[in-house]
Amino acid sequence: MRIKWFFPGIIWFVVSFVLLSLPGNDLPDADLFGIPYIDKWIHTGMFLLLTFLFSYPFTYSHLTIQKLKKWSFKIALCVIIYGVAMEYYQKYFSPGRSFDLADIFFDSAGSLAGMIATSIYYTKKYNKKIGPDGNRGRNQN
């Protein structure tokens, strides 16, 4: 597997670290766009994308769906641990930020959703039909 396939995940990891490290007074109000709990939705989306971007390169390998699910689970677990670590980082090192169990819950939900999205994408990618009759693997010439 090529390291360049992981660049989107690495870039998003750095972006998420910067966003989660911002001081509390640099953040917009929680009522952004009038959507209730928008910060929780943002956490979910950030961690869904992080898990998907690190799992996505494995969809190019010829792994079985079971092995892909194992790798996606390992990545999701690492991303969840990262989310918990960031909550502690915010509590102790980021002024104006605090530890929030709800953020950990939504980080974890997003990470698990990213794992499921990767599995769905992989399954659909390799279960495509080639011919109009669903024939796969035969020479259609």
Give pLDDT tens digits for 7-43. Answer: 999 999 999 999 999 887 766 555 656 666 788 899 9
- The tokens for 12 are 């998003």
Global pTM value: 0.82
Handedness of CA 31, 20, 68, 109 (dihedral sign): negative
- The tokens for 18 are 């910067």
Longest dimension (CA), the chain: 66
d(CA 127, CA 120): 11
- The tokens for 119 are 């599995």
Give pLDDT tens digits for 53-74. Answer: 999 998 888 888 889 889 999 9
